[in-house]
């Protein structure tokens, strides 16, 4: 495993002298912020999004707009994809592969399972190009601030070549070996994230039921061994029943499902993660899929 940390994760707005042409596919919560940081750093960025109106904002900031993933991949040296889930990542990679060729690179930063990453790798290689999976730890704020953590697997040569781009968008990057290791690391991290959030929601609800102030719980936790920036960041809104979306709940549930499926392939059972997954599914059934994942609190407050 190779780990590299940047001293300064904040993106500078000075023009880059790097002439690498970058394609960016997928301008959701994460993609728009990541592509914007590449633009701010002076790169020439060509964007594509399924819903084309989302390209307009970045076009006004200097991006070129492609009519299809194929057009973006054909026009660029390195194409980055940030898509919702495995079916979306695979469908877009199939289209992008039509524009890839020898000398080009495809970097998928979406959260998918190892099997999907492998399929995308095969598509990219069949087109003669290089592939890197590089899912990210960190949410909307770190994407905006350029302080994501990349969990990469695949071709080391492309990892080195894409390094300056990852450094613009992130504060650290790990090279974890062959394709699949990055996806699996991301699923482990998000299994922890999802179970921790569900347990935190239970802690807040229990405290309230016992007549304690929820803010006191947050303050006590912040000083001890289980302190986490996540609770300090999310709890104030959670206590008011507000869930402004940074990480959509439907994606957290997807990640728990993928982690449980990965465990199942190795005949492992993960009862804590399975229980958390049920809570996120209940929240989705309540219509909270597009809310922040902290809305899992609503499943704890009012179980189905």
Task: Tell me the window of 10-18, 23-31, 121-129, 219-227 that interacts with ligand NDP (CB under 6 A).
Answer: 23-31
139 binds ligand SSN (CB under 6 A): yes
Least distance to ligand NDP, CB of residue 123, Å: 15
User: What is the rounded (10 degree) CA torsion for 76, 81, 86, 91?
Assistant: -30
284 binds ligand SSN (CB under 6 A): no
Report whether 87 contacts 95 (CB < 8 A). no
State which of residues 31, 69, 138, 289 lies at the interface with ligand SSN (CB under 6 A).
138
How many C-beta atoms lie closer than 10 Å to residue 185's C-beta? 21
Nearest to 105 by CA among 64, 65, 159: 159
- Which is closer to ligand NDP, CB of 44 or CB of 251? 251
Please name the residues in contact with 260: beta carbons below 8 A apart, sequence gap of 6 or more: 270, 273, 274, 277
Among ligand SSN, ligand NDP, none, residue 46 binds (CB under 5-8 Å by kind): none
Which two tokens mark 82? 């940030």
SS3 content of the chain, % helix, strand, coil (to 5): 55, 15, 30
Is 250 among the catalytic positions?
Answer: no
**What is the contact mask toward ligand NDP in residues 27 to 66, using x (rule: CB under 6 A)?**
xxxxx-----------------xxx--x------------
Please name the residues in contact with 174: beta carbons below 8 A apart, sequence gap of 6 or more: 1, 2, 3, 4, 149, 150, 151, 152, 185
Please name the residues in contact with 223: beta carbons below 8 A apart, sequence gap of 6 or more: none
Nearest to 21 by CA among 59, 67, 64: 64
**What is the contact mask toward ligand NDP in residues 211 to 250, using x (rule: CB under 6 A)?**
-----------------------------------xxx--
Residue 134 to residue 115: CA distance in whole angstroms: 14
257 binds ligand NDP (CB under 6 A): no
State which of residues 22, 83, 168, 169 lies at the interface with ligand NDP (CB under 6 A).
83
Please name the residues in contact with 143: beta carbons below 8 A apart, sequence gap of 6 or more: 29, 30, 33, 34, 37, 136, 169
Task: Tell me the window of 43-51, 65-73, 131-139, 266-274 that interacts with ligand SSN (CB under 6 A).
Answer: 131-139
184 binds ligand SSN (CB under 6 A): no
Task: Tell me the window of 13-21, 26-34, 58-66, 222-230 that interacts with ligand NDP (CB under 6 A).
Answer: 26-34
Please pick, among 40, 173, 186, 234, the residue that the annotation labels catalytic.
Answer: 186
List residues near ligand NDP by CB under 6 A.
Answer: 26-31, 49-51, 54, 82-85, 88, 91-92, 110-111, 136, 139-140, 246-248, 251
List residues near ligand SSN by CB under 6 A.
Answer: 111, 137-139, 190, 193, 247
Residues tagged active-site: 186
């Amino acid at each position: 495993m190779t780990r590299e940390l940047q001293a300064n994760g904040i993106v500078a707005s000075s023009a880059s002298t790097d002439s690498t042409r970058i394609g960016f596919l997928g301008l959701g919560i994460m993609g728009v912020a990541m592509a914007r940081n590449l633009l701010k750093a002076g790169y020439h960025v060509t964007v594509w999004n399924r819903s084309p109106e989302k390209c307009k904002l970045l076009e006004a900031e200097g991006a070129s707009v492609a009519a299809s993933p194929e057009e973006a991949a054909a026009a660029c040296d390195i194409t980055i994809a940030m898509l919702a889930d495995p079916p979306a990542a695979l469908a877009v990679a199939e289209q992008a592969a039509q524009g890839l060729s020898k000398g080009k690179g495809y970097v998928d930063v979406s959260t998918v399972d190892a099997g999907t990453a492998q399929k995308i790798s095969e598509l990219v290689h069949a087109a003669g190009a290089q592939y890197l999976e590089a899912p990210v730890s960190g949410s909307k704020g770190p994407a905006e601030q350029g302080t994501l953590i990349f969990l990469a697997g695949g071709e080391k040569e492309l990892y080195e070549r894409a390094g300056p781009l990852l450094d613009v968008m992130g504060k650290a990057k790990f090279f974890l070996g062959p394709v699949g290791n990055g996806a699996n690391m991301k699923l482990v991290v998000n299994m922890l994230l999802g179970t921790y959030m569900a347990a935190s929601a239970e802690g807040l609800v229990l405290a309230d039921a016992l007549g304690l102030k929820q803010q006191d719980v947050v303050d006590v936790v912040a000083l001890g061994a289980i302190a986490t920036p996540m609770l300090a960041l999310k709890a104030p809104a959670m206590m008011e029943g507000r869930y402004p979306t940074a990480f959509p709940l439907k994606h957290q549930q997807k990640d728990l499902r993928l982690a449980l499926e990965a465990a199942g392939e190795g005949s492992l059972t993960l009862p804590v993660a399975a229980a958390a997954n049920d809570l996120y599914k209940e929240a989705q059934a309540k219509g909270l899929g597009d809310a922040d994942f902290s809305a899992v609190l609503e499943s704890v407050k009012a179980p189905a």
